[in-house]
Amino acid sequence: MLMAITHLPSPNLQNCELTFLESEAIDIEKANVQHQNYRSMLERCGAKVITLDENIALPDSVFVEDPIIVFDEVAVLTSMGVESRRAESASMGKVFSQYRKIERITLPAKIEGGDVLKVGKKIFVGESSRTNQEGIQALEAIIKPLGYEVIAVKVFGCLHLKTGVTALDNQTIFINSNWVDVEAFKGFSKIEALSDEPFGVNVLKIGNILCMNEAFPKSIALVKSLGYRVETVNISEFVKAEAGLTCMSVLFKS
């Protein structure tokens, strides 16, 4: 069964961490509606959705992807690149211990799930403002023995790797080469981000369905023109918190 772990938006979302964006007013009531619509989209795509509220006081807790990285064999609790988010990890470990063996990455190694792009057995990990070389090496030490190949990618213009690149399928990536080192993706077909929709490359792949932010109609049209099935949702309030579709759920097979 395909599962999706999500977390209700915190009433303190306005106080979220920001790195590349200026703070804007976030309408929390609107955010709650958008999150419900996001969960409904996950269900339409075939996922059983579990919604947590354990970290409701923590501003960034809706972004469940960052504290944990889940593989078929193991779930890896991350060390998180900013101190304010490290309190999120304990409850995520408790939840996922029901489904997976838990491994932990500890400081000074830093890593967040938003920097980890899984394409089959190739695991691309962004070296970003939130993930350092030690974090990449620590993840590799855990998953390389399981048959995964870890490939480091320089991230230089956005928060996380998946802000600047995601996979449309196992051979094709959607990438903003102004933000991410394209050389790491040798052998892949590359679709370049549209200049007026640089954030449009953040796509959440669920089976053969690609979920996209409806704020980027040209990117959606481009992906549809390539023959992909697309679902869309509005996450405007979360975009103000420097978020994309991928960071608000953790998908795994139970």
Q: How far apart are CA 186 and CA 182, in angstroms?
A: 8
Distances (CA, A) of 25 to 15, 143, 214, 237: 10, 40, 20, 9
Q: How far apart are CA 60 and CA 241, in angstroms?
A: 8
Sign, CA dihedral 205-209-215-221, equals positive
Contact in structure between 116 and 123 (CB atoms under 8 Å): yes
Distances (CA, A) of 142 to 81, 147, 154: 19, 10, 21
Active site residues: 160, 247
Which CATH number, 3.30.230.70, 3.20.20.70, 3.75.10.10, 3.40.710.10, labels domain 2-253? 3.75.10.10
Q: What is the pLDDT of residue 15?
A: 66
In this structure, what are the phi and psi dihedrals at residue 54, rounded to the nearest 5 degrees? -60, -30
Q: How far apart are CA 190 and CA 25, in angstroms?
A: 35
Please name the residues in contact with 242: beta carbons below 8 A apart, sequence gap of 6 or more. Answer: 16, 17, 18, 19, 20, 21, 159, 163
Contact in structure between 55 and 10 (CB atoms under 8 Å): yes
In tens digits, the chain (254 residues) has pLDDT values of 999 999 999 988 886 565 656 667 788 899 999 999 999 999 999 999 999 999 998 888 999 999 999 999 999 999 987 887 898 988 899 999 999 999 999 999 999 999 999 999 999 999 999 999 999 999 999 999 999 999 999 999 888 999 999 999 999 999 999 999 999 999 999 999 999 999 999 999 999 999 999 999 999 999 999 999 999 999 988 888 778 899 999 999 98
- 183 in helix, strand or coil? helix
Work out the angle at residue 52's Cα, subtended by the Cα atoms of residues 47 and 54, and round it to the nearest 5 degrees.
165
Which tokens is 147 given?
């048959």
CB atoms inside a 10 Å sphere around CB 127: 19
CB atoms inside a 10 Å sphere around CB 121: 12
Domain boundaries, given as residue ranges, for the chain? 2-253
Q: What is the pLDDT of residue 82?
A: 81
Q: What is the pLDDT of residue 16?
A: 58
